[in-house]
Amino acid sequence: MRENLPSLVEAVVDALEGHLRQRLEEQRPKPLGLATGRTMVPIYGELVARLQRWPADQLEHLRRSWCSFNLDEYVGLEVADRRSFAAYMTRHLGKPLQLSPQQLHLPDGEAINPEHQAGSYAAQLQSFGGVGVQLLGLGSNGHVGFNEPPCGPEASCRVVSLSQSTRQQNAASFGGDPSQVPSQALTLGLKEILAADEIHLIVTGSAKAEILKKLLNSPCTEKLPASWLRNHARVSLWLDQLAVAGEKVPEANLSSKLI
Q: Which of 92, 143, 200, 232 is catalytic?
A: 143
Q: Is 108 known to be catalytic?
A: no
What is the dihedral angle through the alpha carbons of 91, 88, 127, 161, rounded to the nearest 10 degrees?
180
Q: Is 72 known to be catalytic?
A: yes
Q: Is 253 known to be catalytic?
A: no
Q: Which of 46, 70, 105, 141 is catalytic?
A: 141
Q: How far apart are CA 122 and CA 189, in angstroms?
A: 9
φ, ψ (nearest 5 deg) of residue 102: -70, -15
Q: Which of 46, 72, 73, 110 is catalytic?
A: 72
Q: Which of 46, 73, 110, 148 is catalytic?
A: 148
Other CB atoms within a 10 A radius of the CB of residue 210 amount to 13
Q: Is 143 known to be catalytic?
A: yes
Chain CA centroid to CA 232, Å: 16
Q: How far apart are CA 17 and CA 11, in angstroms?
A: 10
- List CB contacts of 37: < 8 A, sequence separation 6 or more: 137, 170
- Contact between 192 and 132 under an 8 Å Cβ cutoff? The reply is no
- Contact between 147 and 155 under an 8 Å Cβ cutoff? The reply is yes
Element (H, E) at 3: none
- List CB contacts of 11: < 8 A, sequence separation 6 or more: 2, 238, 259
- Angle 50-70-229 from CA coordinates, rounded to 5°: 95
Q: What are the catalytic residues?
A: 72, 141, 143, 148
